[in-house]
């Protein structure tokens, strides 16, 4: 590992400057040692703090509007914890964000993650693409009846087309 000459000269000038200060003001040596020690120690990597509020189960049970209301009651610190814990945004710029932007990021991230893979879960959708899992039994039967009625004219056209051939 080679250090370029400009950097060596710069470090030598710093060394001379500090030695001059120490000779003139020996009482400042502790201040300089503290400064150099703080600069030389590596920053410790902080672990993600556990979050007690489960946004995904809350979203599934009560929907995104109620999630926004719940998040609006939280502090900025709690919202930032949620964003970093779930990895909705990687940059440290979230420290500057306002509450509304943090809430929107959390809601968008939670909704996207809950919908992830939904293309493969066609069991809860009927043939018209209506999500039956979020409907009451009465509404399900009405929606299924509508979708069956809407398919009947198409089936008739297909049957007639096959007979003509």
pLDDT at 69 over 90: yes
Please identify, among 116, 137, 154, the residue that sits at the C-terminal boundary of a domain: 116
Q: What's the whole-number average pLDDT of the chain?
A: 75
Domain encompassing residue 83? 55-116
Per-residue pLDDT at 97 exceeds 60 = yes
* 59 and 89 share one domain: yes
- Which helix (H) or strand (E) segment holds residue 102: the answer is helix 99-115
Number of domains in the chain: 2
Identify whether residues 64 and 22 lie together within a single domain: no
- Joined together, the tokens standing for residue 50 give 């556990």
- The whole-number pLDDT of residue 104 equals 93
**For residue 17, how far is the Cα from the chain centroid?**
47
Name the band, by pLDDT with cuts 50, 70 and 90, for residue 117.
confident
Distance CA 60, CA 57 (A): 5
Dump pLDDT digits (tens) for 42-60. Answer: 665 556 667 788 898 888 8
* Residues of the chain above pLDDT 90, percent: 16
Predicted TM-score of the model (pTM): 0.46
Dist CA 86 CA 55 (whole Å): 10
Nearest alpha-carbon partner for 76 in 54, 58, 50, 96: 96
């Amino acid at each position: 590992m080679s250090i370029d000459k400009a950097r060596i000269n710069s470090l030598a000038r710093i060394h001379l400057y500090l030695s001059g200060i120490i000779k003139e003001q020996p009482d400042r040596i502790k201040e300089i040692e503290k400064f150099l020690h703080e600069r030389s120690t590596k920053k410790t990597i902080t672990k993600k703090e556990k979050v007690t509020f489960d946004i995904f189960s809350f979203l599934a049970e009560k929907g995104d509007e109620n999630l926004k209301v719940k998040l609006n009651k939280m502090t900025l610190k709690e919202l930032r914890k949620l964003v970093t814990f779930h990895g909705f945004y990687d940059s440290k710029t979230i420290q500057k964000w306002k509450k509304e932007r943090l809430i929107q990021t959390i809601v968008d991230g939670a909704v996207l993650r809950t919908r992830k893979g939904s293309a493969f879960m066609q069991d809860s959708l009927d043939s018209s693409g209506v999500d039956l899992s979020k409907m009451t039994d009465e509404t399900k039967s009405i929606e299924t009846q509508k979708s069956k009625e809407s398919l009947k004219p198409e089936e008739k056209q297909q049957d007639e087309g096959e007979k003509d051939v």
